[in-house]
């Protein structure tokens, strides 16, 4: 399916919570970090829900069960039930169930979330490569996952057992900073075996399919902090997206984004759900304007003039950078322009 190349952030005259029926919200880096709620998340989600928006929580983290995630959200002040949570464990379990016999054994390298999801699909989790598994599935198992679990995966994969991964996020945000994610663990097995897994999580179609099947969303808005999972997943699914700057993506990464990583909207945090989005006007000749800012692309760097809200300046810079880059990533120097915005 061909898509036009996005060259500027989108505009919305309506609050996003009114323009879309369902928010498909990432968790780590969007709603919470290291277990604690991110600033403005609780009150923003409450207001969106009160206004009639359905909230669904979509996570590549396969460690915890939907019940556990919902309980954590509720404890933080974001009421949620297990049916409101969609995990990459559920997506990969469905993917496996579509390809192996009913009741098949699956070697689990990961946490309880994977085991529960497999049982939901009628599959039997096992712990050893010697248990005659029909598949190997790997998901985030937390920082205490023993090294020997990777060896079990390698033994089975080397024998030709099909290998699946819940997701391949290289990092995961936490209270103390950025830590290795499941993608880093997948690389351990890949290097040792030379094999490649089938992957279910964002940004790939199995996760989008799982999300739509479970939510019934008709006008979904993907909300995330990662360009390579949340925003690319929305691009692959042909739906709109909102990038919030509360997680791993900073201004420089956003300006350098190739087309599949360019969000529809950009905002500081989840308060962006409760507002419209300003229009970016102008063109390459006269510069791109948003709020009090005008951005343009020079020979070597992005230029920014004016003043006003930093986010408006960033939106104008996005238009200048993305237009200059076309269907590739922007390689212009962005440091000076971002420094003017404090970003």
Structure tokens at 257: 């984004």
- 3-state SS of the chain is CCCCCCCCCCCECCCHHHHCCEEEECCECCCEECCEECCCHHHHHHHHHHCCCEEEEEECCCCCCHHHHHHHHHHHCCCCCHHHEEEHHHHHHHHHHCCCCCCCEEEEECCHHHHHHHHHCCCEEECCHHHCCCEEEECCCCCCCCHHHHHHHHHHHHCCCCEEECCCCCEEEECCEEEECHHHHHHHHHHHHCCCCEECCCCCHHHHHHHHHHHCCCCEEEEECCHHHHHHHHHHHCCEEEEECCCCCCHHHHHCCCHHHCCCEEECCHHHHHCCECCCEEECCCEEEECCEEEEECCCEEEEEECCCHHHHHHHHHHHHHHHHCCCCCCCECHHHHHHHCC
Residue with tokens 């008709």: 218
Query: Which residue numbers are catalytic?
Result: 26, 28
Report the 10 Å Cβ neighbour count for 146: 9
Q: Find, among 39, 40, 31, 35, the residue nearest to 85 by Cα.
A: 31
Report the 10 Å Cβ neighbour count for 143: 9
Structure tokens at 230: 């949340």
Residue with tokens 């969007």: 30
């Amino acid at each position: 399916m061909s898509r036009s190349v996005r060259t500027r952030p989108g505009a919305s005259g309506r609050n996003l919570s009114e323009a879309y029926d369902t928010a498909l919200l990432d968790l780590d880096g969007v709603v919470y970090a290291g277990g604690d709620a991110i600033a403005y998340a609780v009150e923003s989600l409450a207001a969106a829900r009160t206004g009639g928006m359905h909230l669904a929580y979509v996570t590549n983290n396969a460690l915890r069960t939907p019940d556990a995630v919902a309980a954590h959200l509720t404890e933080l002040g974001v009421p949620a039930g297990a049916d409101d949570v969609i995990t990459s464990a559920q997506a990969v379990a469905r993917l496996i169930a579509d390809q192996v016999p009913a009741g098949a054994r699956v070697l689990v390298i990961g946490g309880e979330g994977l085991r529960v999801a497999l049982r939901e699909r009628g599959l039997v989790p096992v712990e050893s490569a010697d248990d005659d598994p029909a598949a190997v599935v790997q998901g985030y198992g937390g920082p205490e996952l023993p090294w020997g679990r990777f060896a079990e995966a390698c033994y089975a994969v080397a024998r030709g057992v099909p290998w699946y991964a819940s997701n391949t996020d290289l990092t995961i945000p936490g209270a103390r900073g950025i830590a290795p994610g499941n993608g880093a663990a997948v690389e351990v097995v890949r290097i040792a075996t030379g094999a490649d897994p089938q992957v279910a999580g964002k940004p790939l179609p199995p996760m989008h399919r799982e999300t739509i099947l479970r939510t019934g969303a008709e006008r979904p808005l993907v909300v995330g902090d990662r360009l390579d999972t949340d925003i690319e997943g929305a691009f692959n699914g042909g739906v709109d997206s909102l990038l919030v700057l509360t997680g791993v993506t900073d201004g420089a990464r956003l300006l350098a984004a190739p087309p599949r990583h360019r969000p529809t909207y950009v905002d500081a945090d989840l308060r962006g759900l409760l507002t419209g989005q300003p229009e970016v006007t102008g063109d390459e000749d006269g510069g791109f304007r948003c709020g009090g800012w005008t951005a343009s692309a020079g020979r070597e760097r992005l230029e920014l003039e004016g003043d006003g809200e930093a986010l408006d300046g960033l939106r104008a810079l996005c238009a200048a950078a993305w237009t200059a880059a076309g269907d590739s990533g922007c390689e212009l120097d962005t440091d000076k322009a971002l420094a003017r915005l404090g970003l």
